[in-house]
């Protein structure tokens, strides 16, 4: 192995190590935020749970705000990809709204700490985007992105006559609010209800509420 190859190999190892630490730290931050909220979470506790030093945390993130923003941005990217992967070009716009709702139930159930950190805020998901001070940092972008996705789908469903008597923004708020209500009840029941059954309840409710 020549010098250039050794340098590339060392760089690759460094990148892999940084990525590993980043994953560990974000996973620990997600847990701490979910347990105590943003204000109650401590960087020292995050470092301890991640199994790294406080110095290592600060080498990758400037503090809690950057951890919070990075976590929310990463989860939203994953969620959007999951929704896009389930979208069917041959389905009706309403069916795609219901499919997105199902994906959101499954996504939050698969990331319980992320669900807890959003429920812990005590904010109404359906109206959070209309409040200037609602949420924190990248969390606001998460809400806006989710609402915008559903609003665009609602516009298409209304234009196709699949939904009537409702404005797109109201449809989006109804969908998000239903998700919050069912997921909150699921958590209160110690998450015992099967996720598929939970998703079916949400979808059936939304179909009854929205279908023309």
Domains and their CATH numbers in the chain: 1-61 (1.10.10.60), 65-210 (1.10.357.10)
- The arithmetic mean of pLDDT across residues 69-82, rounded, is 91
Percentage of residues in the chain with pLDDT exceeding 70?
Answer: 89
What pLDDT score does 133 carry?
A: 59
For residues 44 and 29, the answer to whether their CB atoms sit within 8 Å is no
Chain position carrying tokens 């204000």: 39
- The arithmetic mean of pLDDT across residues 139-156, rounded, is 87
What pLDDT score does 95 carry?
A: 94
- Is pLDDT above 70 for 73? yes
- The arithmetic mean of pLDDT across residues 157-172, rounded, is 93
- The arithmetic mean of pLDDT across residues 37-63, rounded, is 95
Range name among 61-75, 122-136, 138-152, 169-183 with the lowest pLDDT average: 122-136
Range name among 4-8, 79-83, 171-175, 199-203 with the lowest pLDDT average: 4-8
Range name among 39-43, 45-49, 78-82, 156-160 with the lowest pLDDT average: 78-82
What pLDDT score does 137 carry?
A: 78
Q: Is 56 exposed, middle or buried (0-12, 13-18, 19+ CB in 10 A)?
A: middle
Chain position carrying tokens 């598929």: 196
3 state SS for 130-168: HCCCCCCCHHHHHHHHHHHHHHHHHHHHHHCCCCCCCCH
Range name among 42-51, 84-93, 147-156 with the lowest pLDDT average: 84-93
Q: What is the pLDDT of residues 98-137, one digit of tens each?
A: 999 999 999 999 999 999 988 987 778 877 666 555 667 7
């Amino acid at each position: 192995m020549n010098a250039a190859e050794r340098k590339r190999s060392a760089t690759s190892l460094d990148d892999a190590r940084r990525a590993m630490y980043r994953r560990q730290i974000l996973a620990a931050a997600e847990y701490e935020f979910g347990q105590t909220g943003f204000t109650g979470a401590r960087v020292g506790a995050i470092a301890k749970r991640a199994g790294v030093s406080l110095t290592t945390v600060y080498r990758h993130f400037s503090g809690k705000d950057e951890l919070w923003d990075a976590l929310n941005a990463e989860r939203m990217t994953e969620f959007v990809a999951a929704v896009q992967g389930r979208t069917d070009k041959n389905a009706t716009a309403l069916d795609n709204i219901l499919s997105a709702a199902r994906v959101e139930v499954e996504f939050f159930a698969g990331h319980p700490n992320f669900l807890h950190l959003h429920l812990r805020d005590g904010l109404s998901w359906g109206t959070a985007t209309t409040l200037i001070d609602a949420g924190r940092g990248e969390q606001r972008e998460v809400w806006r992105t989710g609402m915008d996705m559903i609003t665009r789908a609602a516009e298409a469903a209304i234009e196709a006559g699949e939904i009537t008597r409702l404005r797109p923004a109201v449809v989006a708020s109804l969908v998000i609010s239903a998700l919050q209500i069912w997921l909150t009840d699921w958590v209160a029941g110690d998450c015992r209800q099967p996720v598929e059954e939970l998703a079916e309840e949400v979808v059936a409710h939304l179909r009854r509420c929205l279908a023309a």
